[in-house]
Structure 1
Amino acid sequence: MLHTWLTERFGLRVPVVGAPMAGVGAGRLAAAVSEAGALGMIGVPAAATGEWIAGEAAVAGGGPYGIGLMAWALPGNPAQLDAVLAARPPLVSVSFGAYEPFVGELRRAGITVVTQAGTTDEARAAEQAGVDAVVARGAEAGGHGRDEVATLPLLQSVLDAVRIPVLAAGGIATARGLAAVLAAGAEGAWVGTAFMGCVETALSETAASRVLAAEETGTAYGRVFDVAQRLAWPPEFGGRALRNAFFDRWKGREDELAADDSARAELDAARRAGDFDTAYIYAGEAVGMVRERRTAADVVAGFAAAGRLLSRFAAPGS
């Protein structure tokens, strides 16, 4: 059994956090990941209500779990923070925007607070802001974040730059990836895409089929889908998603897209219809390793094999 700050802090058997994936991971997936011995998280969409958070927290809350919030959305939706404080999950992630004002209140409530950093300077700033741990999120990761530094160089730099615990995110989908970041000095892995094939996600069967069929080169990074929806994501945080026809048509034409109401309506209609030639599915570069429908327990059990990989290098009798 692997022992790290992450496993000791939350009583886990496997040093993995199921990343908060809005629209993919709600209470059911969080509960399944946690029951399997890792730490599941609920991804909170920007427009989610406090009631939605309370309901999903009730589903997830049989063991240790976490909730992921988008910092840029909180000022316009303060009920989200109120609901999280009422639920008191063991872990809260606040990322992407001005997260600093929320750190103290969450910690005073007895909640462990982390944030995601896409550069070493962001990790240093997170330590100064008082978070308990920082997630070094590389450009390979799915969903929103920076596209500036890959996971391995970022992780090495962040580990040298901060004294707080560091988790690694981006491109980690198997025990081999977990072993690699643990060997480098991370306290665990922050894993999203590897769980996207799980039966406990909120993805439709059509979306899940797209994930399972995607190749490792089948993702693209940009702001096309956010601009089309008029979402107020800070511009430095684009999103990595499965490449599709809508993305390819509008990539590089974001200024034009921002004024095109017909494109916005087209995307909205596609989302309702489940047409993923137009609608988006956020996923990371590890998607090529997600090949079959599995349970979250199966995925977590696969990560547990990292201990055997790392033991190859232990001296006899050590």
Structure 2
Amino acid sequence: MGERTVDLRTILDGLRVPVVGAPMAGAAGGRLAAAITAAGGLGLIGVGNVATVEQVREQCGLARAAGQRVGIGLMCWSLPQNPALLDAALEAEPVVVSLSFGDPRPYLEKVHDAGAAVVAQVGTRTEALDALDAGVDGLVVRGSEGGGHGRGVVSTLPLLQQVLDLTDRPVLVGGGVATARGLAAVLAAGASAAWVGTPFAASAESIFRPELKEAVIAADTDQTVYTRAFDIAQRFDWPEIYGGRALANAFSDRWAQRTDALAEAVTDEMTETIKQARVDADLSMAPVYAGESAGLVDRARTAAEVLADFEPFREHLRAAQRWLD
């Protein structure tokens, strides 16, 4: 295994605000990642399954131009289709690489040789054990409340408690952490940092279209849905165990719970229509990936303002100390 020059725990302990920006494909580009790091957290650039080497280099270049260290997130299931994405990502000298949604083993040595720490997102105890066995440096516990793709079977708090008992490696927590209270809660439980997506997806520096950001801000906690319907309609080859949480809309109202029927009904016209809906920001059809914490995002903010709103976590931790008296 390659020799690491970056220690994950040292990175996380050095953050002014223990928040890592989730590598959301289509939202977390170089500008957002750099802004999160500049504000005291650690930003990650998201590399999606349809990304190109040129796009990766462009986004990494934006972060480099800002003079900020960042991380990068890749999807293991799609890397065999375009292994050059990993090479392009490592050219940017990321400090952390997320290797999730599949087996990280084929890529671990290469990433470690490049001097980056590796984390893997997990959604069950079994996934956590497998990632630890593979040799990742830390885990990202992502509960079913979380936005975007992941497992939809265990919620954040039960999974966090399970995983913390499995390892002494750093554990980050994603899924529902969007306020200072939430950050304090997971830190008090033993997490090393929060893995935050939805609030940053709606931030000024996000690649999200303005219409999508406004929809996230307007949504409540009960207005999301976990489903594979959007991927099936777009004919994306996501493994069946990974659905995605998005804002509910007319398309999901019809198909979210009827994915078997959708798989039989999907046509070239439907696929083209939903892909065009994403281009046009047609929110009745297009997926807007966001977690239940959308209901906690109530106004337009910059990434720095999102981080500042997490800052009172220390006050909540101090308040909890009354139970130690």
> Is 1:21–2:28 an aligned residue pair?
no
Change (3 A) 1:7 1:301: farther
Local SS of the residue matching 1:46? coil
CA distance in 2, matches of 1:274, 1:193: 18
- The more displaced of 246-255 and 223-232 is 246-255
CA distance in 1, matches of 2:126, 2:259: 28
Structure 2 match to 1:37: 40
Q: Distance in 1 between matches of 2:25 and 2:150?
A: 13
Q: Which residue does the alignment assign to 1:72?
A: 77
Given candidates 292, 308, 311, the residue that maps to 1:285 is 292
Percent pairwise identity? 51
Displacement of 1:121 after TM fit? 1.5
Partner of 1:237: 242
Verify: 1:93 aligned to 2:94, yes or no. Answer: no
Q: Which amino acid aligns with 1:290?
A: V
Equivalent residue runs for 1:206-245 within 5 Å: 206-245=211-250
Which residue identity does 1:50 align to in structure 2?
Answer: V
SS at match of 1:201: coil
Mapped partners of 1:182, 1:248: distance in 2:
36
* TM-score (normalizing by structure 1): 0.94
Shift of 1:251: 2.4
Aligned 8 A contact 2:141 2:159 in 1:
yes
Scaled by the length of structure 2, the TM-score of the pair is: 0.92
Stretches (4+) displaced over 4 A: none
**Which residue in 2 is equivalent to 1:8?**
10
Contact 1:27/1:56 (CA < 8 Å) preserved in 2? Answer: yes
**Alpha-carbon displacement from aligned partner over 1:129-165 (angstroms, at most 9, x marks no partner):** 1111001110100000001111011001100012211
Using the TM superposition, give the Cα deviation of residue 7 of structure 1 relative to its aligned residue in structure 2, in angstroms: 7.1
Q: Secondary structure at the match of 1:255?
A: helix
Q: Secondary structure at the match of 2:192?
A: coil
Q: 1:179 and 1:40 mapped to 2: Cα distance?
A: 20
Q: C-alpha deviations, 1:137-194, integer Å up to 9, x for none? A: 1010000000111101100110001221111110000000000000000001000012
Q: How many residues align?
A: 313
> What is the one-letter code of the residue matched to 2:233?
A
Gaps of 5+ in 2: 1-6
Q: Which structure 2 residues correspond to residues 34-183 of structure 1 after superposition, within 5 A?
A: 34-61=37-64, 62-183=67-188
For 2:88 and 2:315, locate their aligned partners in 1 and report how far apart those are by CA, in whole Å: 40
Q: C-alpha offsets along residues 97-124 of structure 1, whole Å, 9 cap, x if unaligned?
A: 2222111210121101000010112111
3-state SS of paired residue (1:69):
strand
Corresponding residue for 1:311?
318
In 1, the alpha carbon distance for the partners of 2:216 and 2:250 equals 16
Ranges in structure 1 where 5+ consecutive residues have no aligned partner: none
More deviation in 206-215 or 133-142? 206-215
User: Do 1:18 and 1:192's aligned partners in 2 also have CA atoms closer than 8 Å?
Assistant: yes
Root-mean-square deviation (Å)? 1.7
| More off after superposition, 268-277 vs 150-159 | 268-277
CA distance in 1, matches of 2:180, 2:210: 26
Which residue is 1:201 aligned to?
206
One-letter code aligned to 1:31: A
Confirm or deny: 8 A CA contact 2:202 2:212 kept in the other structure.
no
